[in-house]
Amino acid sequence: MVVASIERCPVFGGELKAFAADDAKAVPGVEAVLPVSAGVAVVARDTHAALAGRRALAVEWHFGPNAALSSIGIRAGFEQYFGEAGVPVRRVGDPDAAWARAARTLEAVYEVPFQAHACMEPMNCTADVRADSCDIYVPTQAQTRCQRTGMEITGLAAERVRVHTTFLGGGFGRRGEQDFVRDAVELSKHLGRPVQVVWTREDDIQHDYYRPAGLNRLRGGLDLEGMPMLWKHHIVAPSILSRIRPEATADGNDRTSVTGAANLPYAIPNIAVDYSLANTPVPVGFWRSVGSSQNAWVTECFLDELAAAGGHDPLTLRRRLLAEQPRHLRVLNVAAEQAGWGSPCAAGRHRGIAIAESFGSYVAQVAEVSVSGGQVRVHRVICAIDCGVLVNPDIVVAQMESGIVYGLTATLKGAISIEHGRVQQGNFDDFPLLRMSEMPDIAVHIVPSEEAPGGVGEPGLPPIAPAVCNAVFAATGAPVRSLPIRL
């Protein structure tokens, strides 16, 4: 077996123009340098030699039309959609008429950045392509897709392509993609020997399928008692399904982009949710809890804004609006009770609450935070989940903790920004993760249920960002409308 490392164009959509391989081939251990569909591959006896050879490459690229792409330009493009009608995905009552007769109105724009998956183990794959068989050793979430990739490249029948699933080293949706699988299978077929392709951390951060960035315009109306009577939500974001299953977005809607918003559970008499499919050259993919990961933040934070505008306690308002939603109400009450909602916090601390239904499970969380010197510290998280009939409670608790950690990193830490058509971040120095010393105490309470089993791998994530941001709102009096939190 040999090891390969691939130099890729730093600009989205760019293509290889030329490369000089002499210096790379002079590195001890390097056996071959060749163009592949992803860029230029350096093949060597071991990883160290492959990376050293790659550093010695001289490569020229055609950067193409995306060389001027930037986060600022992408945001400006998103804003233009607010001047157009989106695709209606939910209508209740008469929102336009309600806007005209509301005693008080409130408007806000919420912004989320692109997010990388940042799996602890970077992308990698080993392939052994022979005349009559193909073996793929890969940390994958999508075995069937891997087999089909092998069939496509080798021309072999399904029974000749075997996928050996290794431990994932973190998945979160990233390991359902096929780019790193294609790397290895293409090289093994060309070289006629087993090849292991190993990505660097920089490869992983700069060539991901990112969680979509997006803008959300919210408009709310209150009646004379300060109760919400109107909810209008316009989502502008790229579509994941338009790449993976374009037929699913033929009507202009991507259901994965609106989940967590279209299923708003609150009994508000007038609701309008619209979506504008706004693709960019930045590739997007499934990221843990998909649309709910950001839409729950938007909806739950805006509800706290409406509660404050109407003079209502956030928990009390939710209870009133969820009177006909027993599963939402149960987890909400358990989380609030266990967190001591209504009793004083420790000095300098404030609480925030949020709830989200996703993947068939219902989760409420209360975050206890402090704000000092412009920094947010999350001290404690109380989580309540109703995931239906339960099999293994330890797994449920572990997945809730895991989702909270993953969500806290995106809430407090990193973001992917684009400049000159490329990702500006490259490693954990500029795309930081939550550290052990920053980990809050977490208590998970499983609500007994006889309902059909729901998921647990993803539903723990959506409520954490709004719970933390609502606590920051309580502490500062200023709503958090962009992530990660920057005070």
State pLDDT tens for residues 229-268: 999 999 999 999 999 999 999 999 999 999 999 999 999 9
Are 467 and 350 spatial neighbours (Cβ–Cβ below 8 Å)? no
Helix (H, G, I), strand (E, B) or coil at 462: coil
pLDDT value at position 472?
98
Q: What is the pLDDT of residue 145?
A: 98
The C-alpha atoms of residue 34 and residue 186 are separated, in whole angstroms, by: 11
What's the confidence (pLDDT) of residue 437?
96
Are 280 and 74 spatial neighbours (Cβ–Cβ below 8 Å)?
A: yes
Contact 200, 211 (CB under 8 A): no
State how far the Cα of 184 lies from the Cα of 471, in Å rounded to an integer. Answer: 47
**Low-confidence residues of the chain, pLDDT below 70?**
none
pLDDT at 46: 98
C-alpha to C-alpha distance for 101 and 354, rounded to whole angstroms: 29
Give the per-residue pLDDT at 103.
98
User: Alpha carbon of 140 to those of 17, 167, 192, 224, 260: distances in Å?
Assistant: 32, 8, 23, 54, 27
Residue 167 and residue 22 in contact, taking contact as beta carbons nearer than 8 Å: no
Percentages (nearest 5) of helix, strand, coil residues in the chain = 35, 30, 35
Q: What is the pLDDT of residue 212?
A: 98
